[in-house]
Structures are given as C-alpha cells and as structure tokens.
Structure 1
Amino acid sequence: MNLNLLPGRCLRRPRPPQAAADFAGVRIDDARLADVLAADAPLLVLHEGAVHAEGPAWQASHRRLLFSDVPNRRINAWYEADGRVEAVVDPAWFPNGNAVAADGSVYHCKHGRRCISRSAPAMDDEPVPVVTHFEGRRLNSPNDVAVAPDGSVWFTDPVFGIVMPSQGALAPAELSHCGLYRFDPATRALARMADFEQPNGLTFASDGHTVYVTDTSIALGEAPGHAPGTRHEIEAFTVGADGVLAERRFFCSPEHGNPDGLALDSRGWVWSSAADGVHVWSTQQEHLGCVPTSETVCNLAFGGSDGRRLFITASTRLLAIDLRVA
C-alpha cells in the first residue's frame, strides 16, 4: 500500500496569513470603535476551501483555533505558531459549535449524533457523547455551546440539523420544543432554561451574569418544505444563582441576514455575525461599526496568545482581524 496516497491531516501547509484582497476596510460608525479597531486593519485569510466553516473556539493550551466544517464532517485546527491547518477530528458527525473548558477539554455540538460530546485537550481520541437526551427523548440537533464562568456547559438545540440534509441527517423531532440547556459536568444534571423558535448562537459576559442567545428561525426557510420563522435577533438574559434566567429582553438585530454566532470582548461589546460581515454593538445597544466581508459570517471568537485576535468563520474561509487592544 502506498501510504503517500492516503488522506492526511494537513489542510494548509505552514505559512503566514495573507491579507484579504476583497476587504475594503473597517466601517467606523462610532469613535469608540476606532480606539479598539483601526479602520485600516487588514482582514487576514487563515484558511480557504471549507464548505461551511463554523464553531470557532480558541484553545490556549495548544495555541490553536478550533473550527468545524459542517458538511465536510471535520473539526479543524489553525495553529498560531506556523499557520498550518490540520483536521483534528475526521470524520466527525456533522459538527457545529465548539467550546473550550478551563481544563483545556473541548465540548462539541454534533448534528449527526444529535448530542453534545467532549474531547480531552489533546483531541487524540474519538469525542465521547455526554448529553444525548432530555427527559428520555433525543435532542434535536445541538448547534452552539458555551462554557459559563462557573464551569457549566450551555447549549442551544434547534432543528436545523434534522431538517437540512447538508447539515446532518433528516429525522423527526422527538421534542416538542427548541431550547437553551444547562449541563453540569460534575452532577450530570441537565436543565431546560428557556425556549425559542430556533435558538442558535450563545455567549456569556465575562462575569457570567449575562448570557446572549440568538434566535434565527427565519433560516428555516432554507430547509426543503419548511416555511421561514419570524426571528433573526439577539436576546439577553440576566443569569442568577444556579443559572436561573431572568429579565429576558431584546438586544439587537442586524439589518442584513441572521445573527448566527456572536462573541463578547472585554468591554462587554457584542460582536455579531451577519450576511454582510461582523457588526459591533455597545452594552447600551448602540451600533458601533462593521467589519464587512464578501461571504456570510457564521460565527466568531476572540483568541490568540494576546487575546487581541477576532477569528471569523465566513462560509468557505477562516478569517481574522487584530484589535488595537484586547
């Protein structure tokens, strides 16, 4: 057998990132954004050739950015040291969101297995399912996941992965709702925290007292035989003891497309995906500006060794832009 002909892990050879030739510059709508992100900051291309890049998560222990390619059924890693990209889980079960815990372990959303799974920090072995059912019924298709400051694992569970053939496998829903869940790894207790039309992305404020969740039910119109829902917005909740949610409220909605995934910076600003790029809102719901992209942005995450890099999964590419200050 000629081993040189077998599929390999390497998807991009080591080399520096290239500036995106189609980037026209950051749009500054509020002077506060200019203090954080230069208008002429280059948009960097870290990887090309994905089908649907999603779920970026910075794994500091390995100085790498993990991200999913959903239809290609891979979880990839971009390495800060040399710019290479490798497939670290291949094949995967239509992976979407990823989140890194304090110990370096990684939680994954798997449309194909309709579960939350967990990998050890090195990700050398097959991820192990940790949440598969709620009250005896299979989950729909977990989409995004976040680890709260208290170590609990939160995830969204819409139906996209069981109604869109490119996102998973067609199957009937066993649950009558689409929810936001909280999983306690220590006790393995699973709680249903809130319901949505189709919950999607989520992220926590650094103090854990606020969680932001997107509802993108309008995207159901992309599924064969399904009508679009009415929601394409970000909601915020106040988080109390044991994760109890209160003060549910509308936060914002991008003008173009869906707020699929989102990330918070150290100021509490919300950086949201949209069809035309990354939009930035202050904690007071003021629109500050936009990082325009030529492809739909699916999700984003802050990371890098200095914490200043915003990683952007934009359809077929993994992009990044560096802030002036973290």
Structure 2
Amino acid sequence: MFAGQNLEPGRLLRRAGAADEIAGFRGVQCDDDRLADLLSPDAPLLKLYEGTLHGEGPVWQVMHGRLVWSDVPNRRLLGWYPDGHVEVLIDGTWFMNGNAVEADGGLVHCEHGRRCISRGGDYDTAPEPIVTHYRGKRINSPNDVAVAPDGTIWFTDPIFGIIMPNQGALAKPELDHRSVYRFDPSSGDLTCMADFEQPNGLAFDAEGKTLYVSDTSLSLGEVPGHEAGAKHEIVAFDVGQGGVLSNRRFFCHTDHGYPDGFAVDRRGWLWTSAADGIHIWSADQRKLGFIPTPAVVSNCAFGGANGRRLFIAATQYLLAIDLYA
C-alpha cells in the first residue's frame, strides 16, 4: 500500500515562531562595568531550539543569514533562521563537530568519522574532504576549526572522536602527537603549529594577531578506560608573518568543567564555555562576568543581523542572548 509514496523524513525540526525565555534564569553576573555597558544583567536568555544530543560548532553564515551548528551524536548539521525555524542541512554526517566560514561564505567542517577537514555540502551534496593526512599518517579526529584573516584554515586534532563511539568510531591513532594545524588552501600545505595534551577549541582575535587554543585533557576522565589529564585551560599565542606562533602563554582556566569552545568578539574579549555557562574575559585577562546556563555549554558564536547576538550550544539547547553593542 506504500507504492509510490515518499517515506523520506522531512527536514523541518522547528516551525517559525518566537523564541521562549529560559524560565528561572537568574540573570547575567557583571563583575566589571565594561560588561555592564553592553550586556544588561536583566537580559533574557532565549531558547531557540531544544532537541540536540550534543550541540557543537555554532557559526553564523552571513550569505544565508543563518546560524549553523552540529548535533554530533545525531550526525546532523542544523540551521536556525531568524524567523525561528530550524532545519536539517545535512543528514547522516560523519560526526561533524566544529564548523567555520571561509571568505567566499562557504563552510568548512571537522569530521570525527572520516577523520578529516571537509568543505561544503548541503541538502543534496556531501562535503568534500580537503585534509586527511599529515606526513602520510591519518590525522586523529579534528575537533574545532577557524579561518584566519589570510584565508588559511586552522584546526585542532585531539583523539576524542576515535575513543568515543558516540562521537565517531574507535581507532588507534597513527600520530604520536595531538596538535594544532594550519592548512593553506592555495598551496595545499599542511603545517603542524603547536602540540598539546588534547587541543580542543580555537579562535583568532579580529585582526588575526592572537590565537587562543584550549587544552581539555581533563575531559578524558569522562571516557571509559581513560584517565583524566590535568588541563582545563586556554593558552594564547602571538601570530606572526606566515602564521608563525610565538609567546605561548597561559590565558585562563575554568573552575567548573573545561573550556570546550569559545568566541572572541571585536573588542578582543573571550567568551568561553564551561560546565556552568559562559565566562567572559577581557584581552588583559580580567574576568568580566558570567552567563549561567541550564545545561553544559560546548561552544558559542556571535552572529545575527547586527552581530550582537551570542549563540550558545549547550547540550540539548541552542540558546541566545542579545548585547547592546
């Protein structure tokens, strides 16, 4: 009786409509007047979507006017639009995690399953792998990605995606290091820039002169059969000509959980995830404030029509809070 009927699932996950406010939100904690000048303590925390298993990798894609983010275990790339509707952009991903936007407006992705950096992809076409090996050996499981002002693609490569079956598939690492890499699309050169215990999030400041990278080896303790490392911190580097890194230095750490992913705004402030919400730091390492959330945060990104909305991927939620400036 099903002959001729289309049984394929649809792509719509949320219909257009206003966002809900998070009930019981106790408000923004402002520890510095600079934060109070652009973020009201009474600003509502908005729930844009609920339904991911582990939301990750939010990025604002200007050319489509949408927020793109990953639901890693559900193997979906999702899109939120200003009218409130949410749709599946790519179904059956290879455990996509981090995403970034290139200068032409297209997307690049971290894939745990195929252990690669890929480019593009939409409803009908699969993303194309562009980085798969380093010096003849497979990279581990790229986690987060950022595009530098010069167009080079930087990514972190820990082992989380090859030791956690719900995030990828079990495999032995071929490389004996966990590193940050720089890929030059124009030449095809892949360069190892710095080593870590387990590099995770990364982001540049607006001018591309400072690179921040988090090391979250502490989270290995959540994986059966693995021992927790000591790292739950963000370090900073100066970025020189050709992407050369120097002046490696401690920037901050989180007291609750670890700094999975983060965003750097146009002021140079760093907005980092933690187990209890978003913590905000100035470029001179001063704690400015805190946004509590109802679930563990994995990552965040600025976007919206005016760039003043902070989108927050927090486990099952996509949340948002709006700034004055």
The reply on whether 1:72 has 2:58 as its aligned counterpart is no
Shift of 1:32: 1.0
State the AA in 2 paired with 1:178: R
Q: Cα gap change, 1:271/1:3 in structure 2, threshold over 3 Å: closer, same or farther?
A: farther
TM-score w.r.t. the length of structure 1 is: 0.97
The 8 Å contact of residues 274 and 298 in structure 1, kept in 2 or not, is answered as: yes
Q: What is the alpha-carbon distance in structure 1 between the residues aligned to residue 158 and residue 260 of structure 2?
A: 12
CA RMSD, Structure 1 to Structure 2 (Å)? 1.1
The reply on whether 1:83 has 2:99 as its aligned counterpart is no
Report the counterpart of residue 93 of structure 2 in structure 1.
92
Shift of 1:6: 2.7
CA shift digits 1:213-265 (9 cap, x unpaired): 00000001111100011100000000001100000000001111100001011
Q: What is the alpha-carbon distance in structure 1 between the residues aligned to residue 123 and residue 155 of structure 2?
A: 20
Report the counterpart of residue 149 of structure 1 in structure 2.
149
Report the counterpart of residue 229 of structure 2 in structure 1.
229
Question: After the TM superposition, which residues 51-66 of structure 1 pair with which residues of structure 2 at under 5 Å, given as runs?
Answer: 51-66=53-68
Report the counterpart of residue 243 of structure 1 in structure 2.
243
- What SS is found at the alignment partner of 1:218? helix
Report the counterpart of residue 101 of structure 1 in structure 2.
102
Q: What is the alpha-carbon distance in structure 1 between the residues aligned to residue 99 and residue 160 of structure 2?
A: 17
- What SS is found at the alignment partner of 1:279? strand
CA shift digits 1:149-199 (9 cap, x unpaired): 110000000000001111110110000000000000111110000000000
CA shift digits 1:292-324 (9 cap, x unpaired): 012100000000110000000000000000001
Query: Runs of 5+ in structure 1 lacking a partner?
Result: none
- What SS is found at the alignment partner of 2:42? coil
Shift of 1:22: 3.3
Question: After the TM superposition, which residues 80-229 of structure 1 pair with which residues of structure 2 at under 5 Å, given as runs?
Answer: 80=82, 82-119=83-120, 124-229=124-229
The 8 Å contact of residues 22 and 294 in structure 1, kept in 2 or not, is answered as: no
State the AA in 2 paired with 1:109: C
State the AA in 2 paired with 1:311: F
Q: What is the alpha-carbon distance in structure 1 between the residues aligned to residue 118 and residue 6 of structure 2?
A: 32
Question: After the TM superposition, which residues 238-277 of structure 1 pair with which residues of structure 2 at under 5 Å, given as runs?
Answer: 238-277=238-277
Q: What is the alpha-carbon distance in structure 2 between the residues aligned to residue 63 and residue 256 of structure 1?
A: 33
- What SS is found at the alignment partner of 2:166? helix
Q: What is the alpha-carbon distance in structure 2 between the residues aligned to residue 226 and residue 22 of structure 1?
A: 36
Q: What is the alpha-carbon distance in structure 1 between the residues aligned to residue 20 and residue 219 of structure 2?
A: 32
Shift of 1:123: 6.1
Report the counterpart of residue 40 of structure 1 in structure 2.
42
Q: Cα gap change, 1:124/1:207 in structure 2, threshold over 3 Å: closer, same or farther?
A: farther
Q: What is the alpha-carbon distance in structure 1 between the residues aligned to residue 307 and residue 26 of structure 2?
A: 24
The 8 Å contact of residues 114 and 142 in structure 1, kept in 2 or not, is answered as: yes
Q: Cα gap change, 1:14/1:51 in structure 2, threshold over 3 Å: closer, same or farther?
A: same
- What SS is found at the alignment partner of 2:296? coil
The 8 Å contact of residues 179 and 192 in structure 1, kept in 2 or not, is answered as: yes
Q: What is the alpha-carbon distance in structure 1 between the residues aligned to residue 174 and residue 314 of structure 2?
A: 31
Structure 1 ranges of 4+ moved more than 4 A: 2-5
